[in-house]
A and B are shown apart, each in its own frame.
Chain A
Amino acid sequence: MTTERTHTTPTPDGPALDPGADARPGGRPRGLLVVRLPRPRRPTGTIALAVLVGMGAIAVAAPLLTPFDPLATDTSATALPPGSPDHLLGTDLLGRDLLTRLLYGARTSLLVGLVAAAITVLAGTVIGALAAVGPRRLDEAITRVADTLLSLPLLVVVLALSTVAGPSLGSVIVAIAVTSWMPVALVARTALRTQRERRYVRAARSLGLSPAQVLGRHLLPGAIPPVASIAAFEVGHAILTESTLSFLGLGIPPNRPSWGNLLTEAQSHLLTGQWYTVAFPAVAIVITIVAVNALAATLARPESSAW
């Protein structure tokens, strides 16, 4: 044991006590100021995103990828099996090319999924924000309405709305949005209420920022991760609901191919042994839903909402 006192003269890189020297950003390389996006630890999210982007690209480029008209019938080529010359996935009983109908069906199904989910998420977030930052009575009213709608069997409500509005692309999107905003609103409300208690939100209010500034710059950014993850699930939910409605004859009109419509038409083909008419649209739906859910799960992981 030593009793000797030691003393070290601080070097320029050592602990800084004067205010100028402790200006850390000035002393660090500028590169540290660049925001770096976190890399996913597992490639699931990347693969899911690649699958969805690929599907979207194929849907957009459908007219370039196939020479056939999805609605044109050909009585000389009916019920061809997969692998037939000119018809990779075969044809249906009216001689329509199944690959063409699958590609054009992707356009409708993905469009419905994205648009319905976008409207659902936007409406849900706005309603959730009103509940979170509005008067207490408004909050209670919104919460009660959401709880009531959540307690109803949604498929019945969607069926009723589609029946009243008639089968069309617009009515399907509206029906899905009207019956799907509640989980988004409740998640957004909870996330925003949690954010409201943060010290920087209190500091922002103390500086005289307007409610819109506080909401837009301080509350919403922190609420994005949970809302983003539920938004991804909403895309999958919308695609499934569209398929269900179309399968029941209440969704997209038959003159517009969608994956749900393909399944509806394929019902009768099953009895005559044309299994592939069901298999291909079903596989397309399953792949899309799995990819969407994998992406949603990636967004929902804790490290995605680190701040």
Chain B
Amino acid sequence: MSGLTVRGLTVDLPGGPRIVNGVDLDLAAGEVLALVGPSGAGKSLTVRAIARLLPPGARVGGTARLNDVDLLAVDQAGLRRLRGTALGCMFQNPTAGLNPTMTVGGHLLETLRAHHRLPRVELRERGLTALAGAGLERPAELWQAYPFQLSGGQAQRVALALATACHPAVLLADEITTELDAVTQAQVLDTLRAHAAAGRSVLLVTHDLAVAARWADTVAVLEAGRVTEHGPAAAVLHDPQAALTRTLLRAAQLSSAALS
């Protein structure tokens, strides 16, 4: 699997200022890169711009190369083929990210059917494998469940199963543990880490420095639409160079001792 290279990413929302202002990111295969920063820094917009999921009228500049394909320049048909198979996405509030009128199995079958022409039995097998790979026990029982019957942790794991069902090389995870309790958060992030160990690149957007410290290999600190610090997690968080990183660490009350 190959990684993701973002160069000079800019996002202008209609009628507003430039929110993302020249972001550069390097995400190697099997790496977890935490994109941290305060609210309004442009973290989510960066992810949505890479996935081409911005609201209508937003203008995007720069490049985001994945497997030698510029995600920002590829046509709609090509983009649809890449979504799910090369680039997976997960978002905050997983229950709202699942269609309330469809079962878990329905979601998986639909996603797999969008990319593979296979018999239903085989699609179901792949779906069950994806659920198991997302850390869900008894996937066959969950197959018929509707989103309202899932806990927050289960819903986020189903979202992970959907995002990884077609084996994308890169996974974009935008604040995926914000609404989860600490224990479920750790379990979901451990599963994500296992996916990275298998070679998948993960761009993890979080405002929680403790999450970045424990689960990320590298950290990029975003401030007002620019990356102010980018490097190995241990180096950035133990010896912060940017003022914002120090401020964030002070606010989170994370000392070097706590981090280690």
Contacts and interface: CB of A to CB of B under 8 A. Distances in A.
Interface string B124-147: 000000000001111001101110
A207 B144 contact: no
A221 B83 CA distance: 23
A68 to B, nearest CB: 50
A226 to B, nearest CB: 15
B74 interface: no
Given A205-B83, A213-B110, A20 B98 contact: no
Contacts of B56: 136
A199 B141 CA distance: 25
B153 A22 contact: yes
A210 B84 CA distance: 12
A220 to B, nearest CB: 10
Contacts of B91: 199, 202-203, 206
A307 B96 contact: no
A204 B99 CA distance: 9
B111 A199 contact: no
Nearest to B111: A207
Contacts of B93: 199
A23 B145 CA distance: 11
Contacts of A307: 100-101
Count class of interface residues, chain A: 20 to 34
Count class of interface residues, chain B: 35 or more
A206 B89 contact: yes
A304 B239 CA distance: 57
Contacts of B136: 19, 23
A210 B113 CA distance: 10
B89 A203 contact: yes
A26 B142 contact: yes
B120 interface: no
B252 interface: no
B161 to A, nearest CB: 11
Contact of A25 (B96, B135, B142, B183): B142
A209 interface: yes
B27 to A, nearest CB: 17
A208 B80 contact: yes
Given A206-B89, A208-B85, A210-B114, A22 B151 contact: yes
A50 to B, nearest CB: 28
Interface string B81-96: 1111100110101001
A206 B53 contact: yes
A25 B157 CA distance: 14
Contacts of A25: 141-142, 144-145, 149-150
B99 to A, nearest CB: 4
Most buried by B among A19, A33, A206, A218: A206
B217 to A, nearest CB: 24
B187 interface: yes
A138 B119 CA distance: 38
B8 interface: no
Most buried by B among A25, A32, A33, A210: A25
A207 B97 contact: no
A28 interface: yes
Given A200-B99, A208-B85, A32 B114 contact: no
B137 A20 contact: yes
Given A24-B150, A200-B99, A218-B99, A207 B162 contact: yes
A217 interface: yes
B51 interface: yes
Contacts of A33: 144-146, 149
Nearest to B112: A207
B149 A24 contact: yes
Interface in A208-249: 208-210, 213, 217-218, 221-222
B46 to A, nearest CB: 15
Contacts of B102: 217
A164 interface: no
Nearest to B188: A19
A218 B157 CA distance: 20
Most buried by B among A22, A198, A203, A218: A203
B122 to A, nearest CB: 18
Nearest to B76: A211
A208 B80 CA distance: 5
